[in-house]
Amino acid sequence: MDNRLEKLQKSMEGTIFNKLNFQEEHQKNVRERIQKLKESEKDIFLAVLQLLVQEKAGFELINLLRSRGFQKFDDNEGELYILLHRLEQKGYLKSRWEKTDIKYYQLYHKGIRILNRLEKSQTKGLLALREILEG
């Protein structure tokens, strides 16, 4: 493996890549943009709860999250269903199956209380999020 990496490095030195030089300020700007693009778990969690005030199917939820700019579930829808299942097990969501084999999710009483806490205070919201995701 190391040998292949050495060959790659030598190959890159012989191409246009050897002429690239990023100034420190440019590097800082790139890092800041990358950081802004990272989606906070808290923001995603809050968006899911807000969207589930009204009953929605998983695929609807993914599309609505995408319309809010979240791309975390674009190529990994299963991750959303894992989150929904976890929230359902903890009593934050209720679900029902439609005759067409579509599962619909909606906030339950406990989930509404958590959403209210999250929306009232960021600090309390972080504690509630830790409690839900770690508990």
pLDDT tens-place string over residues 70-89? 888 888 888 899 999 999 99
Q: What is the mean pLDDT of residues 18-46?
A: 71
Its CATH class, for the domain covering 40-134, is: mainly alpha
The rounded distance, in Å, linking the Cα atoms of 124 and 128 is 6
The rounded distance, in Å, linking the Cα atoms of 79 and 43 is 15
DSSP state of 20: -
The rounded distance, in Å, linking the Cα atoms of 54 and 37 is 28
Residue type, 31: R
Question: What was the pLDDT predicted at 135?
Answer: 56
- Distances 101 to 3, 5, 97, 120 between C-alpha atoms, Å: 52, 49, 6, 36
Question: What was the pLDDT predicted at 1?
Answer: 46
pLDDT: is 24 or 13 the higher one? Answer: 24
